[in-house]
Amino acid sequence: MHRIIYYERTDSTNRRLKLLAPEAENGLTIIADEQTDGRGRLDRKWLSGPGEGAWFSVLVKDSRLSGENAAGMVFVCALAAARALRKLTGREEILVKWPNDIVMNGKKLAGILCESGFEGNRPAWIVCGIGINLCQTSFDPSIPWAGSVLSETGLRIDRNETVHAFLEEFDIAIRQYLESGPASVLKELEPLSATLGRRVRAQGEQMTVSGTAVGFAEDGSLLIDTGHGLETVRVGDVSVRGIMGYV
Ligand code: ADP
């Protein structure tokens, strides 16, 4: 069960939910019609105009969360978002770009940002933020690789239906994650991955790794075959881009 709080306009659904997280119950979900200060990883901006997308955040509180498995929550979200969008549109070209984007036709349809609050060495809560572009027909010139469900599939899908489809898949994926471990969720992501088998460049602050993405490590790190050996790049350390474009 997910209790839902709805805002017509807020700064960021993640920021709102983080304020409530210490006292709130598992599953609490915040949806906004518009975010005025939506964020991606590394404090990058997430453009989320009024009525244009499904901008929402879900709270996870569970005693089985640990310092080790917390970083993998992004994969639970990615799997749920890809499955929900495939179900709603019937389009199997909807894929997951490692680690946190949903893509179609080389365009970014959705992004995910998970943030946690630790008590000692275990997360007391994780806020999972999801932004799904639903009906934009044009984007800011600074993000030429952005796309929406409408621009890529020609379909208009309802915002609330999208959130509910996500939550249904999320509840299934998180149960699997907590009961069977990250590896079982990563296995399910493999056939949905836009990254595996591609030539990619992982750009971190200190380093760049180029090569072919060949697999996921047990913790979800991306394994890149550089031609001189395998390099492991961890979630959070890098931005991954295709050699030939965004994906
Ligand atoms: P990265 O793809 O490098 O991991 P993030 O997942 O953190 O980046 O997402 C933030 C980035 O997404 C921004 O820097 C911007 O380039 C892009 N962006 C911002 N708003 C949107 C949007 N509505 N749709 C698609 N991409 C967006």
CA 136 to chain centre: 19
Name the residue of 44, 203, 205 to mutate for ligand 1: max ligand atoms within 8 A of Cβ. 44
In the DSSP assignment, the letter for residue 120 is T
Name the DSSP class of 183.
H
Amino acid at 245: G
Best residue for ligand 1 mutational test, from 85, 108, 109, 136 (most atoms within 8 Å of Cβ): 108
The CB of 133 under 6 Å from ligand 1? The reply is yes
What's the pLDDT score for residue 174? Answer: 97
Share of the chain residues as helix, strand and coil, in percent rounded to the nearest 5: 30, 35, 35
Q: Are strands 29-35 and 101-104 parallel, antiparallel or unpaired?
A: unpaired
Tokens at 27, concatenated: 């599953």
For each of the chain's 247 residues, which pLDDT tens digit applies? 899 999 999 999 999 999 999 999 999 999 999 999 999 988 899 999 999 999 999 999 999 999 988 999 999 999 999 999 999 999 999 999 999 999 999 999 999 999 999 999 999 999 999 999 999 999 999 999 999 999 999 999 999 999 999 999 999 999 999 999 999 999 999 999 999 999 999 998 888 999 999 999 999 999 999 999 999 999 877 788 887 788 8
Query: CB under 8 Å to 179, separation ≥6 — which residues?
Result: none
Buried/exposed code over 81-94 (b: 16+ C-beta within 10 A; e: otherwise)? bbbbbbebbebeeb
pTM tops 0.85, yes or no = yes
HSE, side-chain direction, 13 A CA sphere, residue 126: 23
DSSP string across 146-170: B--HHHHHS----HHHHHHHHHHHH
Q: How many CB atoms lie within 10 A of CB 128?
A: 26
Looking at residue 204, its pLDDT comes to: 87
Strands of the sheet containing 238-242, edge to edge, are 230-233, 222-225, 208-216, 199-204, 238-242
pLDDT, position 32: 98
| Dist. CA 154 → ligand 1 center (Å) | 22
Q: What is the model's pLDDT at position 239?
A: 85
